[in-house]
Amino acid sequence: MGAGALRSAPIAEAMRSALDQAQQSRAIEMARAAEVEADAAAVGAMAAAGYDPQAAVRYLQRLPARDNAARPTAVRAAIEKLPLRTYSANTGEFEAMKSLAMAIH
């Protein structure tokens, strides 16, 4: 092995390391983008099921900011696209479903 090869080995290793870090960073970015997209879909499903989608915002705000900085903002934007409605925990639906479930057993 020549002297030039010995000098280039650390450079090649540094380049491989930088490439690995860039790939990991890109994978993390893609995963976070997928989380934001899933959050928007979940908010729509929550609202359709009668749950207050603002609960998702409150939940996301409790997570560490470094892990979810964009998520509460994206969820708020998704909520703004939903039809306006009032969400209430006191609709009586739970008691009705509970009665139906009790009648089955």
Q: Is the pLDDT of residue 43 over 90?
A: yes
Closest CA to 48 of 69, 79, 20: 79
Closest CA to 69 of 94, 16, 32: 32
Q: Is the pLDDT of residue 90 over 80?
A: no
**What pLDDT, on the 0 to 100 scale, is given for residue 5?**
55
Q: CA-to-CA distance for 7 and 27, rounded, in angstroms?
A: 31
Contact 78, 44 (CB under 8 A): yes
**pTM to 2 decimals?**
0.58
> Using 50, 70 and 90 to split pLDDT, how confident is the model at 7?
low
Q: Is the pLDDT of residue 2 over 60?
A: no
pLDDT average, residue stretch 77-81: 94
Contact 102, 70 (CB under 8 A): no
Where in the chain are the domains?
Answer: 34-104
